[in-house]
Structure 1
Amino acid sequence: MTGGIIAILLTLTVVGGISVSTVAYFTLQRHRADAVAMAGYRKLAEEAVAGQEALREELKELTSRLTAVEGLLRSVD
């Protein structure tokens, strides 16, 4: 009877260890996939910021040109 209980406990221990290892492996894979996705989002955000900076510079240039045109029109009157 004791040998049977030891065999059952040993089997349960091995199955439990394999189950925990499998769950840990798939959790790690999910975290890796999330990290790759976050890196993609980070790159997209950096590109968006760079685009906004370029638009801001262009808007400053247009504002200065508009100010010059307004000054020219006021000088004509």
Structure 2
Amino acid sequence: MAPGGPEILLIVGIAILIFGAQKIPKLARSIGESTGEFKKGQAKVEQELEEIRPDTDLSADVNPDAGAAVDTETNS
């Protein structure tokens, strides 16, 4: 659930009281730069994971009987 107009105004008002009107633009700029750096880092990690991910599925080699039918009947 996203905050609506009154909630955002309340948050901005509290931020102005806490940080002061002069520091709000610097704080917003810092948050924006941090978010951008985080997204760049996330994209880099995802790219590196794609590069090291093998092109073939090795799960069949690890467990060759994974797709085989299992006989659940018991001989009594």
Going by fraction, where is helix more abundant, 1 or 2? Answer: 1
- Look at both structures and tell me which one has the larger radius of gyration over its CA atoms: 1
Smaller-chain TM-score range? 0.3 to 0.5
TM-score, normalising length from structure 2? 0.46
